Amino acid sequence: MAVKFRKALGLHVTVVSRSTSKKDETLNLLKADDRFVRRTDKQQLEVCYGCSKTLFGSVTGGTKDTREMLEFCAANKLYPGIEVIPIDYINEALERMVKKDVKYRFVIDIKKNSLK
C-alpha cells in the first residue's frame, strides 16, 4: 500500500526489500524513474546513500488519520492486495503464514462455510 500511496501522490519511489518475491508486481506499480532495490545488495543500496532523505511514520494513527486515509484511498481507487479464503481453509492459511507463504492479507469469507 505504501507504494500505491506514494504513486497516487505523484512522488518518486525507491522500494527497498529484503527479497525479490514481489519485485515484478512492485515494478508494475512503479514508473520508469522509480527503483526497486534489494536490501542485501550493497551496490544497489548506494543509490540511497547521501540523498539526505528521512523516513518516518507511525504504526497507528488516530481516528482522524484513519478517516483521511480511507477517503484518500476511495478518491484514488487504492485497494489492498487480499486473498479471499473460505473459513474451512483457515488451518491451511495458518500453516502458510508459519511458512511465510503469504503474499497478501487473508480475508475470510464466512458465507462460503462448508462446515455447517
**Residues 6 or more apart from 107 whose CB is under 8 A from it?**
82, 83, 84, 85
Residue 29 · residue 52 · CB < 8 Å: no
pLDDT of residue 62: 87
Q: Which domain holds residue 107?
A: 80-116
Please check the confidence at residue 75 and state whether its pLDDT lies above 90. yes
If one counts the domains in the chain, the total is 2
Please check the confidence at residue 32 and state whether its pLDDT lies above 60. no
Distance CA 116, CA 114 (A): 6
89 and 40 fall within a common domain: no
Calculate mean pLDDT across residues 39-58: 62
89 and 53 fall within a common domain: no
- Can you give the pTM of this predicted structure? 0.61
53 and 28 fall within a common domain: yes
pLDDT of residue 111: 84
Residue 37 · residue 51 · CB < 8 Å: no
Calculate mean pLDDT across residues 18-36: 71
Distance CA 18, CA 21 (A): 9
For residue 99, name the pLDDT band (cuts at 50, 70, 90). very high
**Opening angle at CA 25, ends 32 and 36, nearest 5:** 50
